[in-house]
Amino acid sequence: MRFIVGLAISGGGPTSHTAILARTLGLPAIVAAGSALLAAPEGSQAVIDGSVGAVYLNVARADLDRAEAVVAAQAAARAALRESRHQPAETTDGHRVEIAANVANAKQAAAAIEAGAEGVGLMRTEFLFLERDTAPDEDEQYRIYREMTEVMAGRPLIIRTLDIGGDKQVPYLNLPAEENPFLGVRGARLLLTRQDLLYTQLRALYRAAKHGPIKIMFPMVTHTGEIEALRTHCARARAQVDGPVVPIGIMVEVPAVAVMADRFAPLVDFFSIGTNDLTQYTLAIDRQHPDLAAQADSLHPAVLTLIANTVRAAKASGTWVGVCGGLAGDPLGARILTGLGVDELSMSAQDVASVKAALRGESFAAMQTLAERAVAATTPEAVRAL
Protein backbone atom coordinates (compact mmCIF):
# COMPACT_ATOMS: atom_id res chain seq x y z
CA MET A 1 0.00 0.00 0.00
CA ARG A 2 3.05 2.30 0.13
CA PHE A 3 2.41 3.85 -3.29
CA ILE A 4 -1.40 4.05 -3.07
CA VAL A 5 -2.61 7.57 -2.31
CA GLY A 6 -6.36 7.10 -2.78
CA LEU A 7 -9.11 4.67 -3.75
CA ALA A 8 -12.01 5.10 -6.15
CA ILE A 9 -14.30 2.13 -6.71
CA SER A 10 -17.42 1.77 -8.82
CA GLY A 11 -19.48 -0.17 -6.27
CA GLY A 12 -19.70 -0.68 -2.53
CA GLY A 13 -20.89 1.67 0.16
CA PRO A 14 -19.37 4.11 2.67
CA THR A 15 -19.53 1.56 5.49
CA SER A 16 -18.32 -1.44 3.49
CA HIS A 17 -15.16 -3.04 4.81
CA THR A 18 -13.17 -1.69 1.87
CA ALA A 19 -14.17 1.82 2.95
CA ILE A 20 -13.39 1.05 6.59
CA LEU A 21 -9.91 -0.21 5.67
CA ALA A 22 -9.27 2.88 3.56
CA ARG A 23 -10.16 5.09 6.53
CA THR A 24 -7.94 3.02 8.81
CA LEU A 25 -5.04 3.53 6.41
CA GLY A 26 -5.75 7.25 6.09
CA LEU A 27 -6.50 7.01 2.37
CA PRO A 28 -9.04 9.31 0.70
CA ALA A 29 -11.66 7.15 -0.98
CA ILE A 30 -14.93 7.27 -2.85
CA VAL A 31 -17.32 4.38 -3.36
CA ALA A 32 -20.29 3.66 -5.64
CA ALA A 33 -18.84 5.87 -8.38
CA GLY A 34 -20.67 3.85 -11.04
CA SER A 35 -19.78 2.58 -14.49
CA ALA A 36 -18.29 5.90 -15.69
CA LEU A 37 -15.30 5.23 -13.47
CA LEU A 38 -14.66 1.89 -15.19
CA ALA A 39 -14.63 3.63 -18.56
CA ALA A 40 -11.77 5.95 -17.58
CA PRO A 41 -8.63 5.41 -19.73
CA GLU A 42 -5.83 3.58 -17.99
CA GLY A 43 -3.12 5.97 -16.84
CA SER A 44 -5.47 8.92 -16.44
CA GLN A 45 -4.57 11.52 -13.86
CA ALA A 46 -7.28 11.96 -11.28
CA VAL A 47 -8.15 13.93 -8.17
CA ILE A 48 -10.12 12.15 -5.46
CA ASP A 49 -12.09 14.24 -2.99
CA GLY A 50 -13.21 11.89 -0.26
CA SER A 51 -14.93 14.66 1.68
CA VAL A 52 -17.67 15.07 -0.94
CA GLY A 53 -17.39 11.71 -2.71
CA ALA A 54 -16.13 12.95 -6.09
CA VAL A 55 -13.41 11.87 -8.49
CA TYR A 56 -12.18 14.22 -11.23
CA LEU A 57 -10.56 12.64 -14.31
CA ASN A 58 -8.12 14.17 -16.80
CA VAL A 59 -7.76 17.36 -14.79
CA ALA A 60 -5.83 20.39 -16.02
CA ARG A 61 -2.53 21.45 -14.48
CA ALA A 62 -4.14 24.40 -12.74
CA ASP A 63 -6.67 22.11 -11.11
CA LEU A 64 -3.89 19.78 -9.97
CA ASP A 65 -2.11 22.75 -8.41
CA ARG A 66 -5.26 23.74 -6.53
CA ALA A 67 -5.77 20.15 -5.35
CA GLU A 68 -2.18 20.00 -4.10
CA ALA A 69 -2.75 23.22 -2.17
CA VAL A 70 -5.84 21.70 -0.51
CA VAL A 71 -3.87 18.55 0.39
CA ALA A 72 -1.16 20.71 1.96
CA ALA A 73 -3.73 22.71 3.95
CA GLN A 74 -5.40 19.53 5.20
CA ALA A 75 -2.02 18.10 6.23
CA ALA A 76 -1.28 21.27 8.17
CA ALA A 77 -4.67 21.10 9.90
CA ARG A 78 -4.06 17.46 10.88
CA ALA A 79 -0.63 18.36 12.22
CA ALA A 80 -2.18 21.09 14.37
CA LEU A 81 -4.74 18.62 15.76
CA ARG A 82 -1.98 16.13 16.57
CA GLU A 83 -0.50 18.58 19.05
CA SER A 84 -3.50 18.08 21.36
CA ARG A 85 -4.30 14.47 20.50
CA HIS A 86 -3.44 13.12 23.96
CA GLN A 87 -5.64 15.60 25.79
CA PRO A 88 -8.90 14.06 27.03
CA ALA A 89 -12.22 14.61 25.27
CA GLU A 90 -13.64 16.82 27.99
CA THR A 91 -16.40 19.27 27.18
CA THR A 92 -16.25 22.93 28.21
CA ASP A 93 -18.48 22.15 31.22
CA GLY A 94 -16.41 19.20 32.43
CA HIS A 95 -18.11 16.11 30.96
CA ARG A 96 -15.60 13.53 29.76
CA VAL A 97 -16.03 10.82 27.11
CA GLU A 98 -13.60 7.98 26.56
CA ILE A 99 -12.16 7.94 23.03
CA ALA A 100 -11.01 4.55 21.73
CA ALA A 101 -10.04 3.02 18.39
CA ASN A 102 -11.21 0.22 16.12
CA VAL A 103 -8.27 -2.02 15.16
CA ALA A 104 -7.43 -5.42 13.71
CA ASN A 105 -4.04 -6.15 15.25
CA ALA A 106 -1.39 -5.03 17.73
CA LYS A 107 0.41 -2.84 15.19
CA GLN A 108 -2.76 -0.86 14.54
CA ALA A 109 -3.42 -0.67 18.29
CA ALA A 110 0.02 0.86 18.91
CA ALA A 111 -0.57 3.37 16.11
CA ALA A 112 -3.99 4.24 17.58
CA ILE A 113 -2.50 4.96 21.00
CA GLU A 114 0.09 7.18 19.35
CA ALA A 115 -2.80 8.93 17.56
CA GLY A 116 -4.44 9.76 20.89
CA ALA A 117 -6.76 6.80 21.51
CA GLU A 118 -7.27 5.90 25.16
CA GLY A 119 -8.10 2.27 24.49
CA VAL A 120 -9.41 -0.20 21.91
CA GLY A 121 -13.19 -0.24 21.69
CA LEU A 122 -13.22 -2.89 18.97
CA MET A 123 -10.64 -5.45 17.91
CA ARG A 124 -11.95 -7.17 14.79
CA THR A 125 -10.76 -10.77 15.10
CA GLU A 126 -12.21 -11.85 11.75
CA PHE A 127 -9.11 -10.49 10.04
CA LEU A 128 -7.13 -13.31 11.70
CA PHE A 129 -9.19 -15.74 9.62
CA LEU A 130 -8.95 -14.03 6.23
CA GLU A 131 -6.44 -14.65 3.42
CA ARG A 132 -5.35 -18.05 4.68
CA ASP A 133 -6.26 -21.70 4.09
CA THR A 134 -7.00 -22.85 7.64
CA ALA A 135 -8.42 -21.29 10.78
CA PRO A 136 -5.90 -20.01 13.36
CA ASP A 137 -5.55 -22.52 16.19
CA GLU A 138 -5.80 -21.74 19.90
CA ASP A 139 -2.09 -21.11 20.42
CA GLU A 140 -1.84 -18.72 17.47
CA GLN A 141 -4.87 -16.77 18.64
CA TYR A 142 -3.55 -16.71 22.21
CA ARG A 143 -0.25 -15.20 21.08
CA ILE A 144 -2.06 -12.50 19.10
CA TYR A 145 -4.43 -11.58 21.95
CA ARG A 146 -1.57 -11.62 24.47
CA GLU A 147 0.42 -9.27 22.22
CA MET A 148 -2.62 -6.97 22.20
CA THR A 149 -2.68 -6.89 26.02
CA GLU A 150 1.02 -6.07 26.08
CA VAL A 151 0.61 -3.20 23.64
CA MET A 152 -2.39 -1.86 25.56
CA ALA A 153 -0.47 -1.96 28.86
CA GLY A 154 -3.58 -1.96 31.02
CA ARG A 155 -5.69 0.30 28.80
CA PRO A 156 -9.25 -0.80 27.92
CA LEU A 157 -9.38 -3.58 25.34
CA ILE A 158 -12.61 -4.94 23.87
CA ILE A 159 -12.13 -7.96 21.62
CA ARG A 160 -15.02 -8.96 19.38
CA THR A 161 -15.40 -12.65 18.70
CA LEU A 162 -15.42 -13.95 15.14
CA ASP A 163 -17.82 -11.98 12.97
CA ILE A 164 -17.87 -13.90 9.71
CA GLY A 165 -20.82 -13.56 7.36
CA GLY A 166 -22.39 -10.67 5.52
CA ASP A 167 -19.63 -9.10 3.43
CA LYS A 168 -16.87 -11.23 4.99
CA GLN A 169 -16.65 -14.80 3.76
CA VAL A 170 -14.08 -17.50 4.58
CA PRO A 171 -14.05 -20.30 1.99
CA TYR A 172 -12.25 -22.90 4.13
CA LEU A 173 -15.01 -22.84 6.75
CA ASN A 174 -17.29 -24.42 4.13
CA LEU A 175 -20.28 -22.35 5.11
CA PRO A 176 -23.35 -22.83 2.89
CA ALA A 177 -24.10 -20.14 0.33
CA GLU A 178 -26.90 -17.80 1.41
CA GLU A 179 -29.12 -15.60 -0.71
CA ASN A 180 -28.82 -12.78 1.82
CA PRO A 181 -25.81 -13.37 4.08
CA PHE A 182 -26.39 -10.15 6.03
CA LEU A 183 -29.60 -11.74 7.32
CA GLY A 184 -28.15 -15.20 7.66
CA VAL A 185 -25.84 -17.27 9.84
CA ARG A 186 -23.26 -14.75 11.02
CA GLY A 187 -21.69 -13.49 14.24
CA ALA A 188 -22.98 -15.18 17.38
CA ARG A 189 -25.40 -17.25 15.29
CA LEU A 190 -22.45 -18.92 13.59
CA LEU A 191 -20.44 -19.41 16.78
CA LEU A 192 -23.34 -21.10 18.53
CA THR A 193 -23.59 -23.61 15.68
CA ARG A 194 -19.82 -24.00 15.17
CA GLN A 195 -18.64 -24.56 18.70
CA ASP A 196 -15.26 -25.71 17.47
CA LEU A 197 -14.62 -22.10 16.41
CA LEU A 198 -16.23 -20.71 19.56
CA TYR A 199 -14.24 -22.73 22.10
CA THR A 200 -10.93 -22.31 20.30
CA GLN A 201 -11.36 -18.54 20.41
CA LEU A 202 -12.75 -18.37 23.96
CA ARG A 203 -9.95 -20.49 25.41
CA ALA A 204 -7.37 -18.29 23.68
CA LEU A 205 -9.06 -15.13 25.00
CA TYR A 206 -9.23 -16.37 28.59
CA ARG A 207 -5.59 -17.44 28.47
CA ALA A 208 -4.61 -13.99 27.19
CA ALA A 209 -6.74 -12.32 29.88
CA LYS A 210 -4.21 -13.56 32.46
CA HIS A 211 -1.77 -11.00 31.03
CA GLY A 212 -3.99 -7.91 30.90
CA PRO A 213 -7.60 -6.71 31.06
CA ILE A 214 -9.81 -7.95 28.23
CA LYS A 215 -13.53 -7.58 27.58
CA ILE A 216 -15.20 -10.17 25.33
CA MET A 217 -17.89 -8.91 22.96
CA PHE A 218 -20.27 -11.01 20.87
CA PRO A 219 -21.69 -9.67 17.57
CA MET A 220 -25.08 -10.17 15.96
CA VAL A 221 -26.97 -11.14 19.09
CA THR A 222 -30.74 -11.08 18.63
CA HIS A 223 -32.31 -13.11 21.45
CA THR A 224 -31.81 -13.09 25.22
CA GLY A 225 -31.44 -16.86 25.04
CA GLU A 226 -28.31 -16.41 22.95
CA ILE A 227 -26.73 -14.38 25.75
CA GLU A 228 -27.55 -17.07 28.29
CA ALA A 229 -26.03 -19.76 26.04
CA LEU A 230 -22.92 -17.70 25.33
CA ARG A 231 -22.38 -17.00 29.03
CA THR A 232 -22.56 -20.74 29.72
CA HIS A 233 -19.96 -21.43 27.04
CA CYS A 234 -17.74 -18.64 28.41
CA ALA A 235 -17.85 -20.11 31.90
CA ARG A 236 -16.97 -23.55 30.55
CA ALA A 237 -14.09 -22.25 28.42
CA ARG A 238 -12.76 -20.18 31.33
CA ALA A 239 -12.75 -23.23 33.58
CA GLN A 240 -10.89 -25.28 30.96
CA VAL A 241 -7.92 -22.88 31.01
CA ASP A 242 -8.30 -21.53 34.56
CA GLY A 243 -8.81 -18.01 33.21
CA PRO A 244 -9.92 -14.91 35.08
CA VAL A 245 -13.45 -13.54 35.09
CA VAL A 246 -13.79 -10.94 32.33
CA PRO A 247 -16.66 -8.61 31.35
CA ILE A 248 -18.94 -10.01 28.66
CA GLY A 249 -20.85 -7.71 26.34
CA ILE A 250 -22.72 -7.64 23.06
CA MET A 251 -22.93 -5.54 19.95
CA VAL A 252 -26.19 -3.65 19.59
CA GLU A 253 -26.65 -3.85 15.84
CA VAL A 254 -29.96 -5.67 15.45
CA PRO A 255 -32.99 -3.38 15.96
CA ALA A 256 -34.67 -6.01 18.14
CA VAL A 257 -31.95 -5.55 20.77
CA ALA A 258 -32.19 -1.76 20.65
CA VAL A 259 -35.96 -1.91 21.03
CA MET A 260 -35.72 -4.35 23.95
CA ALA A 261 -32.56 -2.88 25.43
CA ASP A 262 -34.14 -2.72 28.89
CA ARG A 263 -34.39 -6.53 28.86
CA PHE A 264 -30.92 -7.12 27.42
CA ALA A 265 -29.00 -4.67 29.62
CA PRO A 266 -29.28 -6.67 32.87
CA LEU A 267 -27.87 -9.75 31.13
CA VAL A 268 -24.57 -8.22 29.99
CA ASP A 269 -21.71 -6.19 31.40
CA PHE A 270 -21.65 -3.72 28.53
CA PHE A 271 -23.17 -2.69 25.22
CA SER A 272 -21.32 -1.50 22.12
CA ILE A 273 -23.54 -0.02 19.45
CA GLY A 274 -22.51 -0.88 15.89
CA THR A 275 -24.06 1.96 13.93
CA ASN A 276 -23.13 0.61 10.49
CA ASP A 277 -25.16 -2.59 10.77
CA LEU A 278 -27.82 -1.01 12.97
CA THR A 279 -28.37 1.51 10.16
CA GLN A 280 -28.65 -1.07 7.40
CA TYR A 281 -31.06 -3.23 9.38
CA THR A 282 -33.18 -0.30 10.55
CA LEU A 283 -33.44 1.29 7.10
CA ALA A 284 -33.57 -1.99 5.15
CA ILE A 285 -30.65 -0.84 2.98
CA ASP A 286 -27.71 -3.11 2.19
CA ARG A 287 -24.67 -1.14 3.35
CA GLN A 288 -22.85 -2.12 0.13
CA HIS A 289 -25.64 -1.28 -2.34
CA PRO A 290 -24.12 1.24 -4.77
CA ASP A 291 -27.41 2.89 -5.71
CA LEU A 292 -28.56 3.30 -2.11
CA ALA A 293 -25.27 4.06 -0.39
CA ALA A 294 -26.13 7.71 0.16
CA GLN A 295 -29.40 6.75 1.85
CA ALA A 296 -27.74 4.39 4.34
CA ASP A 297 -27.26 7.30 6.71
CA SER A 298 -26.61 6.68 10.41
CA LEU A 299 -27.90 10.19 11.17
CA HIS A 300 -31.41 9.07 10.23
CA PRO A 301 -33.64 9.97 13.20
CA ALA A 302 -34.92 6.38 13.34
CA VAL A 303 -31.38 5.14 13.98
CA LEU A 304 -30.74 7.89 16.52
CA THR A 305 -33.99 7.01 18.30
CA LEU A 306 -32.88 3.39 18.67
CA ILE A 307 -29.51 4.54 20.00
CA ALA A 308 -31.23 6.86 22.47
CA ASN A 309 -33.43 4.00 23.67
CA THR A 310 -30.38 1.75 24.10
CA VAL A 311 -28.48 4.36 26.12
CA ARG A 312 -31.50 5.10 28.29
CA ALA A 313 -31.95 1.41 29.11
CA ALA A 314 -28.24 0.96 29.74
CA LYS A 315 -28.16 3.87 32.18
CA ALA A 316 -31.19 2.56 34.05
CA SER A 317 -29.47 -0.81 34.46
CA GLY A 318 -26.02 0.57 35.28
CA THR A 319 -24.66 -0.96 32.07
CA TRP A 320 -21.73 0.70 30.31
CA VAL A 321 -22.40 1.63 26.68
CA GLY A 322 -20.07 2.58 23.85
CA VAL A 323 -20.38 3.12 20.11
CA CYS A 324 -17.97 1.50 17.66
CA GLY A 325 -19.62 2.23 14.31
CA GLY A 326 -18.76 4.87 11.74
CA LEU A 327 -20.99 7.49 13.36
CA ALA A 328 -18.60 7.70 16.32
CA GLY A 329 -15.81 8.99 14.09
CA ASP A 330 -17.88 11.79 12.57
CA PRO A 331 -17.55 15.06 14.53
CA LEU A 332 -21.29 15.82 14.27
CA GLY A 333 -22.21 12.23 15.05
CA ALA A 334 -19.81 12.20 18.01
CA ARG A 335 -21.43 15.33 19.47
CA ILE A 336 -24.91 13.84 19.10
CA LEU A 337 -23.83 10.52 20.62
CA THR A 338 -22.17 12.33 23.51
CA GLY A 339 -25.37 14.29 24.06
CA LEU A 340 -27.31 11.03 24.14
CA GLY A 341 -25.07 9.90 27.00
CA VAL A 342 -22.74 7.21 25.66
CA ASP A 343 -19.68 6.42 27.78
CA GLU A 344 -17.22 5.77 24.95
CA LEU A 345 -16.73 6.45 21.26
CA SER A 346 -14.52 4.08 19.26
CA MET A 347 -13.37 4.95 15.76
CA SER A 348 -10.60 4.78 13.18
CA ALA A 349 -7.34 6.12 14.59
CA GLN A 350 -7.41 8.73 11.84
CA ASP A 351 -10.49 10.33 13.41
CA VAL A 352 -9.40 10.42 17.06
CA ALA A 353 -7.76 13.86 17.13
CA SER A 354 -10.56 15.62 15.23
CA VAL A 355 -13.33 14.07 17.32
CA LYS A 356 -11.54 14.94 20.55
CA ALA A 357 -11.16 18.52 19.36
CA ALA A 358 -14.85 18.72 18.42
CA LEU A 359 -15.95 17.50 21.85
CA ARG A 360 -13.58 19.83 23.67
CA GLY A 361 -15.02 22.80 21.80
CA GLU A 362 -18.57 22.64 23.14
CA SER A 363 -20.52 22.11 26.36
CA PHE A 364 -22.20 18.86 27.29
CA ALA A 365 -25.43 20.79 27.84
CA ALA A 366 -25.33 22.06 24.25
CA MET A 367 -24.71 18.53 22.97
CA GLN A 368 -27.67 17.24 24.95
CA THR A 369 -29.86 19.87 23.32
CA LEU A 370 -28.43 18.98 19.91
CA ALA A 371 -29.15 15.28 20.54
CA GLU A 372 -32.75 15.99 21.57
CA ARG A 373 -33.35 18.03 18.43
CA ALA A 374 -31.67 15.37 16.25
CA VAL A 375 -33.88 12.59 17.60
CA ALA A 376 -36.96 14.78 17.07
CA ALA A 377 -36.02 15.57 13.45
CA THR A 378 -37.65 13.83 10.49
CA THR A 379 -34.77 13.36 8.03
CA PRO A 380 -30.97 12.99 8.07
CA GLU A 381 -30.77 16.26 6.17
CA ALA A 382 -32.67 18.01 8.95
CA VAL A 383 -30.21 16.54 11.47
CA ARG A 384 -27.25 17.89 9.50
CA ALA A 385 -28.92 21.27 9.23
CA LEU A 386 -28.81 21.53 13.02
Classify residue 2: in a domain, yes or no.
no
Q: What is the arithmetic mean of pLDDT over 239-256?
A: 98
| Shared domain check, 112 and 18 | no
| Shared domain check, 208 and 117 | yes
How far, rounded to the nearest angstrom, does the alpha carbon of residue 141 sit from its chain's CA centroid? 21
Mention every residue, 6+ apart, whose C-beta is less than 8 A from residue 289. 13, 296
| Shared domain check, 92 and 50 | no
Tell me phi and psi for residue 176, to 5 degrees: -65, 145
List pLDDT tens digits, range 132-146.
Answer: 999 999 999 999 999
| Shared domain check, 169 and 284 | yes
Catalytic residue chosen out of the listed positions 86, 211, 289, 324:
324
234 carries an active-site annotation: no
Task: Please give the pLDDT value at position 82.
Answer: 81
For the ranges 79-83, 259-263, 310-314, 341-345, which has the lowest average pLDDT? Answer: 79-83
Task: Please give the pLDDT value at position 50.
Answer: 77
Q: Domain count of the chain?
A: 2
Q: What is the arithmetic mean of pLDDT over 164-173?
A: 78
Task: Indicate the DSSP class of residue 306.
Answer: H
List pLDDT tens digits, range 274-309.
Answer: 999 999 999 999 887 878 888 999 999 999 999 999
C-alpha torsion sign, points 381, 344, 371, 221: positive
| Shared domain check, 74 and 196 | no
| Shared domain check, 196 and 300 | yes
Which residue spans within 303-367 are E strands per DSSP? 320-323, 344-347
Tell me phi and psi for residue 36, to 5 degrees: -60, -30
Count Cβ atoms below 10 Å from residue 294 Cβ, excluding itself: 13
**Domain of 51, in residue numbers:** 7-81
Checking if the pLDDT of 174 tops 80, the result is yes
Catalytic residue chosen out of the listed positions 17, 223, 233, 300:
17
**Contact, 123 vs 104, CB < 8 A?**
yes
Task: Please give the pLDDT value at position 20.
Answer: 66
Classify residue 1: in a domain, yes or no.
no
List pLDDT tens digits, range 65-87.
Answer: 788 888 888 777 777 778 899 99
**Contact, 116 vs 77, CB < 8 A?**
no
Classify residue 214: in a domain, yes or no.
yes
User: pTM above the 0.75 mark?
Assistant: yes
| Shared domain check, 127 and 39 | no
| Shared domain check, 131 and 47 | no
Confidence category of residue 167, pLDDT binned at 50, 70, 90 = low
Checking if the pLDDT of 1 tops 70, the result is no
For the ranges 6-15, 54-63, 246-255, which has the lowest average pLDDT? Answer: 6-15
